């Protein structure tokens, strides 16, 4: 089924560990983004990409890295996990043309202990 | 940056209409979206409105935009228990093509 696939769905990390959250889309979307959602809050933008090889920072980029080597994949790397990074992470993608909304993945629930 | 405000909670009875309100600060937002999030799930795009429109109707959903007051509303007609969810208003920053989200409105539909 076409859509945005995120793995893993759940993850527990110890403080200081690193890991990569995977995101893949099969809709040939040019634009991809990572958001985090904390309890009682809306989603906040971490990093985004307007095409392969191009990434930029959002509102809350500290502690995270991204790369976009292909159109399909947009992994999010946590360099040294901290309890403040406990959150639900959503990946989203969209066509280049303005007017198309973003399609969201089902999320990765991350707990840092 | 953009700020988006929504009321946190709305309770209605099944069959009634629901109106979810949103205010935003960036007048340059050209597209404004409504998303629905069910428990434990991702966000589902419901509808959107372009900034040069006042109203858009899509089946049971009606979006009203008052650009002067930067006020957006989503009306759900004949609300059903399956409509119970969190609803997010999300204006788009056209330059970054990024969405800014409010904290969401939890809609509870009572039978």
Supply A21's token pair: 């959250």
Location of structure tokens 């904390």: A38
* Per-residue pLDDT at B28: 80
* DSSP secondary structure letter of residue A73: B
Per-residue pLDDT reduced to its tens digit, A2-58: 799 999 999 999 999 999 999 999 999 999 999 999 987 789 999 999 999 999 999
CB nearest A98 (choices: B31, B100, B102): B31
* Per-residue pLDDT at A96: 83
Per-residue pLDDT reduced to its tens digit, A55-106: 999 999 999 999 999 999 999 999 999 999 999 999 999 988 777 789 999 9
Nearest CA in chain B to A95: B97
CB nearest B30 (choices: A43, A56, A98): A98
Q: Is a pLDDT exceeding 70 seen at residue A1?
A: no
Q: Count how many Cα atoms sit within 13 Å of the Cα of residue A69 in the half-sphere of its side chain.
A: 2
| Interface check B102 vs A, CB under 8 A | yes
* Per-residue pLDDT at A100: 78
Chains A & B: contacts with CB separation below 8 Å: 61
Residues of B in contact with A101 (CB under 8 A): 31, 33, 35, 45, 48
- The reply to whether residue A107 touches residue B42, judged by beta carbons under 8 angstroms, is yes
3-state class (DSSP) for residue A95: coil
Supply A50's token pair: 């307007």
| Interface check A74 vs B, CB under 8 A | no
* DSSP secondary structure letter of residue A100: P
* Per-residue pLDDT at A67: 96
Q: What's the Cα-to-Cα distance from B51 to each of B40, B56, B72, B91, B107, rounded to whole Å?
A: 31, 11, 10, 10, 25
Which residues of chain B register pLDDT less than 70? none
Burial of A8 (C-beta count, 10 Å sphere; 0-12/13-18/19+) = exposed
| Interface check B104 vs A, CB under 8 A | yes
């Amino acid at each position: 089924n076409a859509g945005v696939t995120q793995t893993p769905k759940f993850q527990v990390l110890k403080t200081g560990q690193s890991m990569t959250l995977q995101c893949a889309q099969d809709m040939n979307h040019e634009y991809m983004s990572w958001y985090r959602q904390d309890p009682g809050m809306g989603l906040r933008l971490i990093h985004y990409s307007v095409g392969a090889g191009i990434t930029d920072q959002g509102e809350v980029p500290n502690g995270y890295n991204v790369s976009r080597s292909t159109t399909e994949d947009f992994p999010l790397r946590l360099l040294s996990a901290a309890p403040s990074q406990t959150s639900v992470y959503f990946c989203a993608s969209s066509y280049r043309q303005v007017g198309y909304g973003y399609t969201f993945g089902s999320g990765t629930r991350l707990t840092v202990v | 940056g953009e700020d988006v405000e929504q009321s946190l909670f709305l309770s209605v009875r099944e069959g009634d209409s629901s109106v979810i309100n949103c205010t935003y600060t960036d007048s340059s937002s050209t597209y404004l979206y409504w998303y629905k999030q069910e428990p434990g799930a991702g966000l589902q795009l419901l509808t959107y409105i372009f900034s040069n429109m006042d109203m858009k109707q899509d089946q049971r959903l009606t979006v009203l935009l008052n650009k002067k007051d930067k006020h957006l509303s989503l009306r759900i007609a004949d609300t059903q228990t399956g409509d119970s969810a969190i609803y997010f208003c999300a204006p788009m920053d056209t330059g970054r093509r990024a969405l800014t989200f409010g904290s969401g409105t939890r809609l509870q539909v009572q039978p």
